[in-house]
Amino acid sequence: MSRYNPKVGFVFSTKDRPEFSRRSLASIDSCGGFDLIWVDGSDTPEGKALPSSVKLHNCRLVEVHSNVKGGPDNAIRFGLKRLLSLGYEYCGLIENDIVLEPGWFQRLMELFSMASDDGFVVGAATVRNLSSRVLFYGPNYTINWVTGAGMVLFSRRAAKIVLATYGRMTARRIANFYKKKFGKDLSDVWELWIDKDDWLHGCDWAYSLQLYAHGMISVGSIPSMARNIDMDVEEILRTSYVSAASRSGNYEPPAFDLSLSPSAIFRLWLCDERLPLEVFFLLAELRMRMIEIPKRVKRMIPQRVKGAIKQALRSIKA
């Protein structure tokens, strides 16, 4: 019987720093079995020219998108939408300041199966694992409260949840969530607070929280198999990479309260594969826009848009 290999794709996002991109790509290409979509926002001639000069030997470069502006979050959202549109079952992100160790991809996919065997629904996995981001240690993987966007792989449904809930979040809101949900105190995690009473973090700090709110966990490798090129995490983030010595010998999978709120149930319903992707993308985009616009403008959404949404929702009910 042939072994099933899921369709896996990663967004490789770059903006200039071609020397970083070359090092990162060489480490990514140490493994095969997945595709890359290159999303580039470079301004310099060297950065813009790089994608046409790169030759990969193990993984497959399927698309290159140049001149993608608007910052990292726009590149991430653009790339995840492309992966979903192309039918990938797992949708990942890798930034060009990350280097990976040989064997990283096999280990990454094993994280999904190992945690699933322990009874969890896994939404995200990473092999770039920092000790300050761990909730629980097991013998083979960690359960994390944040993954970031530097190196992460989502299940298809999790990628949809990330898009449907995309937005920034404060340190206080993050800490309160994990205190209430898991009884974990994050008050001494320096990179969460950065010596402030509160802090508005980038959107990638909310990925894992939103997945937990929708019944999915985030896991990391033991040991970490990825490193940052551009910074010393001990100096800048006051943390360290997870080492092999971190393994827990006596491990019982923790019992989580992953009950769903009505809004989470509704979002999972919208992530149903029977809902056309273009309607899902429209809903996700409307949510982002409606966060900042007044109610009187919300009432001005064209009737044809409302009709398309209602028709799509009826098709799911049927």
Question: Are residues 241 and 287 both part of a single domain?
Answer: no
Residue 114 lies in a domain: yes
Question: Are residues 204 and 285 both part of a single domain?
Answer: no
Beta-carbon contacts of 246 under 8 Å, excluding residues fewer than 6 positions away, are 131, 134, 137, 142, 222, 223
Outline where DSSP puts E strands in the chain.
Answer: 8-14, 35-40, 60-65, 90-95, 98-100, 122-126, 134-137, 141-144, 151-155, 169-170, 200-201, 217-221, 226-228
Question: Are residues 227 and 289 both part of a single domain?
Answer: no
Question: Are residues 218 and 77 both part of a single domain?
Answer: yes
Residue 2 lies in a domain: no
Check whether 255 has a pLDDT greater than 70: yes
Question: Are residues 27 and 91 both part of a single domain?
Answer: yes
Residue 259 lies in a domain: no
Surface-to-core class of residue 91, CB atoms within 10 Å of its CB (0-12 exposed, 13-18 middle, 19+ buried): buried
Instruction: Give 92 or 314, the one with higher predicted confidence.
Output: 92
- For residue 218, the enclosing domain spans 8-246
Surface-to-core class of residue 121, CB atoms within 10 Å of its CB (0-12 exposed, 13-18 middle, 19+ buried): middle
Question: Are residues 127 and 167 both part of a single domain?
Answer: yes
Residue 291 lies in a domain: yes
Residue 258 lies in a domain: no
Residue 267 lies in a domain: no
Question: Are residues 168 and 307 both part of a single domain?
Answer: no
Question: Are residues 171 and 280 both part of a single domain?
Answer: no
Q: Read off the pLDDT of residues 50-71 as tens digits, 9 standing for 90 and up.
A: 999 999 999 999 999 999 999 9
CATH number at residue 35: 3.90.550.10
Which DSSP symbol is given to 26?
A: H
Check whether 34 has a pLDDT greater than 50: yes
Closest CA to 134 of 248, 230, 29: 248
- Average pLDDT of every residue of the chain: 90
Identify the domain boundary among 246, 265, 289. 246
Number of domains in the chain: 2
Task: Map residue 186 onto helix, strand or coil.
Answer: coil
Question: Are residues 181 and 280 both part of a single domain?
Answer: no
For the chain, what is the total number of helices (H) and then of strands (E)? 13, 13
Dmax (CA) of the chain: 59
Residue 262 lies in a domain: no
Q: Read off the pLDDT of residues 207-246 as tens digits, 9 standing for 90 and up.
A: 999 999 999 999 999 999 999 999 999 999 999 999 999 8
Question: Are residues 207 and 291 both part of a single domain?
Answer: no
Beta-carbon contacts of 119 under 8 Å, excluding residues fewer than 6 positions away, are 253
Q: Read off the pLDDT of residues 114-143 as tens digits, 9 standing for 90 and up.
A: 999 999 999 999 999 999 999 999 999 999
Residue 164 lies in a domain: yes
